[in-house]
Chain A
Amino acid sequence: MLKTRTLLLAVAAALAASTTFAAAQDKARVAFVPQIVGIPYFDAMQQGGEQAAKKLGVEFVYQGPVDTNPVDQLQIVQNLINQGVEAISVSVLDASSLAPVVEAAKAKDIKLFTSDSDAPDSGRALYVAQASDQGLGYTIIDEMVKRAGEDAKIGIVSGEATASNLNAWIGYMQERVKEKYPNVTLLDPQFAGGSAERAAQIAGDMMASNPDLKGIIAVASTTCPGVAQAIETAGKIGAVVGTGYCSPNTARAYLKSGAFGYSVLWDPSELGYLTVWAGKQLIDGKTIPAETTPEGMSHPVTYDDKTGILLLGDPAVFTADNVDDFNF
């Protein structure tokens, strides 16, 4: 028994030792907490963040939950606060989930801000936005109407029903349709969780129940492949316009096959870059001007002091024609 226990302890010790990351903390640290790890979108943000860290002379910390679970995300943020990481940005899973840690961060004089997905009333320092929620919601509808017509019937397949940024975009889509395209029918959003399989299933069922469906919008990047695949399998290429908020790399095959008419996104690595840059500004106590071109970026960004929103720029629209110009 003693032997096995020793063995067990040795294994655990080896595990602990193999994961050593302790580094001298002479540089200021900027952390980013995504909604979930292991998806290309946040992976790209991580890469952008690392580039910025190198360029700006800070250390970049990237930690996120394995499931889109707000408590897990909260736990990660709390631990970063305990570590005394100087600036922490969060892609918020759920707008109110930050509340318990905001005070803790303030008490330790840690800059807590949001990026990619906001928690407006949480007391966060600022919000690094890829594009305004309104811009994103409007753009995808405008582009869809261009392709599917002013009287189109359009379905929405989202990811987690609890993700506040996704729900905000859907809200603006609905608003745009109501105000500008009275003849467009926007179906109620359906939720697939994080699974491509469920997304395909739901999209398939949606097309079956609405033979006159002209377009499907995949709101979460996790649902893009599923929606595209469903359109391909249903043989509805050309009849149904697929689209979603997904990166050129994810959408490329579907843009080429015609299952997707277009895809709307920003460059997530730029967003990651801007996030770290903003963190650095916060740590240095600098005020961000209303319009500025951060060091290492090719275009200017805008900052609204009143709302605390640092805007990356307009969302980009990718099509079969321009998709090969991008690699993220």
Chain B
Amino acid sequence: MGAIVRQIGERELLLGAACIVALLLFSLISPYFLTATNILTVLRNCNELFLIGLGMTVVLGIGGIDVSVGVVMGLAAIAVGRLLQADAGPLLSGLAGPLAGGVIGLVTASVVVLGRIPAIVATLGLFGVYRAAVFLALGGAWLSGLPTDLTSVLGAPVLGIPVALPVVAIAYLIVFVVIRHTPFGLHVLATGNSEVKARLSGVSVRRVQFTAYVISGICCGLAASFYIATYRNVAMTIGGTLALEAIAAVILGGTSILGGRMSLLGTALGVLLLRILQNGLLLVGVPSLWQPVVTGLLLILVLGTEAGRGRFDAASLTRHLRRPGRQGAAG
């Protein structure tokens, strides 16, 4: 893995430096930026996007993509909210999130992997289907003013930090260990590099892909528990734009959208940088409407720095994207 570490090391340094520069700049302009409360606010705002980003990193790692993740989080959030309303207690409700997410992940995985539909098209279709499901599950009304059980558990301070932060850190560690220290991680990278080669090497490509989408579902579900704890509300439009934001953050972090190269630390830094910029710009008085523009420019600038290094070879890419079913027949 030496080379990959070296490659993403560069990007991580870049992002880390960008975070620090942003921190310095904003704290120069606004005296309120480098305060404990504000830093905590920024960190807390990272939670959902980061958890979804973790799963998205793995999905992009296998060379897939999932544009339905935000709505998956929404569906899981409904499950969590309904359980809270039914007085199921914080533990059960909280765990219902990842569980529901995992189940939805199974559905996504089945459609994408078993249906052999290109991931971007399949998840675009599922995005619509899940949205309709959110609407049906909500029945036209919001879940609003949900009980604070989960909020008080995840928000309880330990040494001045809300419990939520260590929980997110543990989720990160689990995914990190699985990716970095188990065969599955290698299989993800091999699959993302080339399905055909991975299969020839004896990797059960389908199973790896399937697992990746389920992991992503579980991550979305965990994000749902955090979402409910933080916002105690589910509206019909929940998560509609989260997927694109997550993809942007993960790509910023140095994970290749073509698969085979991923950085979990980069994802963390990408999310952090986005949130720092959003928070900082508001603090220095830039209207929130400009935030998407900054996100977009950041994406183009950071990835543009790789211009000319031949990262993107369109020819091999086209080959790479073709479905395995057809490739087999050609030999």
Contacts and interface: CB of A to CB of B under 8 A. Distances in A.
Given A193-B241, A250-B144, A225 B231 contact: yes
B7 interface: no
Interface stretch (A85-93, A200-208, A267-275, A297-305): A200-208
Interface of B: 30, 32-33, 35, 37-38, 41, 44-45, 48, 131, 135, 138, 140-142, 144-146, 151, 155, 227, 230-233, 235-238, 240-241, 278-279, 282-285, 287-289
Interface residues of A, number: 42
A161 B35 CA distance: 30
| Chain B CB within 10 A, most for which of A38, A190, A193, A198 | A38
A55 B289 CA distance: 45
Question: Counting chain B CB atoms within 10 Å of each CB, which of A161, A197, A204 scores highest?
Answer: A197
A205 B232 contact: no
Given A201-B278, A208-B32, A38 B45 contact: no
B144 A197 contact: no
B231 A205 contact: no
B140 A229 contact: no
A222 interface: yes
Nearest to A229: B231
Contact of A229 (B232, B235, B236, B237): B232
A72 to B, nearest CB: 14
Nearest to B283: A209
Given A191-B288, A234-B37, A209 B231 contact: no
B288 A210 contact: no
Given A161-B289, A195-B237, A205 B279 contact: yes
B144 A205 contact: no
14 contacts: A38-B237, A67-B240, A192-B288, A195-B241, A197-B48, A200-B231, A201-B45, A208-B35, A208-B37, A210-B32, A222-B235, A226-B233, A229-B231, A234-B41
A175 B87 CA distance: 46
A128 B234 CA distance: 29
A205 B277 CA distance: 11
Nearest to B282: A205
Given A225-B232, A233-B44, 12 more contacts: A38-B138, A40-B142, A66-B135, A190-B287, A193-B241, A194-B240, A204-B41, A206-B282, A209-B32, A250-B145, A251-B145, A254-B145
Nearest to A249: B144
Give me the 9 closest cross-chain CB pairs, A-B, nearest first: A253-B145, A38-B236, A225-B233, A209-B283, A208-B38, A205-B282, A190-B288, A194-B237, A204-B41
Contact of A209 (B30, B44, B227): B30
